[in-house]
Amino acid sequence: MNYTTQMDAARKGIITREMEIVASKEKTDVETLRKLVAEGKVAIPANKNHGSLDPEGIGEGLRTKINVNLGISKDCPNIDVEMEKVRTALDMKVEAIMDLSSFGKTKEFRRRLIDVSPAMIGTVPIYDAVGFYDKELKDITSEEFLEVVEKHARDGVDFVTIHAGINQETAEVFKRNKRLTNIVSRGGSLLYAWMELNDKENPFYEHYDKLLDICEKYDLTLSLGDACRPGSIHDATDASQIKELMILGELTLKAWDRNVQVMIEGPGHMAINEIAANMLIEKKLCHGAPFYVLGPIVTDVAPGYDHITSAIGGAIAASHGADFLCYVTPAEHLRLPNLEDMKEGIIASKIAAHAGDIAKNVKGARDWDNEMSKARQQLNWEKMFQLAIDPEKARRYRKESMPEHEDSCTMCGKMCSMRNMNKIMEGKNINILREDE
């Protein structure tokens, strides 16, 4: 039986190769997974032209996945530097990479990335439009915006961020409700500017059916972007954000009618006490579609440490139902991340995702922690290093400060609780001031 997309296959009762791989990774029943894909509650972004892909599922009951943003810019156009980051990110087992290139040889970098990456690849095609056509934003036509989307789909991109919810209705709500930081989404601000300059409807909203034609053709997953995501905690959960989310819910149903898979992008900057409610609202308004959050960053005053502010928000978001976390690096708001920034951002995001999985009772999540606790109780350092989320750093810290007694560390020495409890439980004496007998 033929099918066009993963969702189409799932609705026809077909279990695809991609579903089998995802079910195996998640240790879940493949028929249960198929039903969730059919309902839109799980997406498996898998472009037909991405030959190197090792598929992952995003959504209900599955492990929280993370995404890494990379790409060249006008100030940092070196493709080889970005490819080094790509190789490192893949070595660190990230599930997704978004190419956010906005200048120069974007096509070359995108194709090299897709060729080598088993991780799913996302893009924001509007970033590429200005450079591709060598036109000012105002002069790009609706048809040309759609052509860039198809170009990315043809290259093998698995999901695209499309800010279709910033339509004229949303724009009017934004104008009536003053914000502290206006529209901080780069793609969203470009589309809003295009609409204002041309006095026209958002082309991705007006020609949404044509966009769905492209998605259906390549099995391209739509990541419906949140143009009005808050760029400060002041603007969180305001009229503009909620209005756009309502539009995204309507667009989700239209996409599902065409068997096109959908993810919903979310905040943004947001105070801790608002995160749980936002996860509930998104899932409700967008019919249980997978939720992809950009942070959330829980305070605005920590430039240089926003991998921490976002990990705090990401863990809370994941624990309340977010399915996909976009990493944030220490360089956020300051500059393009370097290799070390990227590594720190990945680790912080991985910690947040796993913490969320524990809270959501994702199958097997706690097993990892239990194994680490067992290794600690046994003072099995090598096992601890193997289980660590960042084994390299754990080994380095241990090596930098070796204790006198191998069964301790330089923090506690012979006062180590694990060491002494092991001895007592075995009926042995404890000698803290003297050598062991």
Binding residues for Zn(2+): 269, 333
DSSP of 199-240: T---HHHHTHHHHHHHHHHHTPEEEE--TT--SSGGGTT-HH
Q: Find the helix or strand (DSSP H, E) in which 224 lies.
A: strand 221-224
Around Cβ 37, how many Cβ atoms within 10 Å?
26
List the binding residues for substrate. Answer: 69, 98, 127, 163, 185-187, 226-229, 265, 292
List the binding residues. Answer: 69, 98, 127, 163, 185-187, 226-229, 265, 269, 292, 333, 409, 412, 416
CB 64 within 8 A of CB 361: no
Q: Which two tokens stand for residue 419?
A: 């060491």
Q: What residues does 293 pair with on adjacent strands?
A: 266, 325
List the binding residues for [4Fe-4S] cluster. Answer: 409, 412, 416
| Interacting residues of 299 by C-beta distance below 8 A, sequence separation 6+ | 233, 271, 309
Distance CA 311, CA 329 (A): 10
Distance CA 46, CA 52 (A): 10
Q: Do the strands 42-43 and 58-59 form a parallel or antiparallel pair, or are they unpaired?
A: antiparallel
Name residue 423's amino acid.
Answer: K
Q: Count of residues for the chain? A: 437
Q: Do the strands 96-99 and 65-70 form a parallel or antiparallel pair, or are they unpaired?
A: parallel
Nearest to 67 by CA among 270, 341, 345: 345
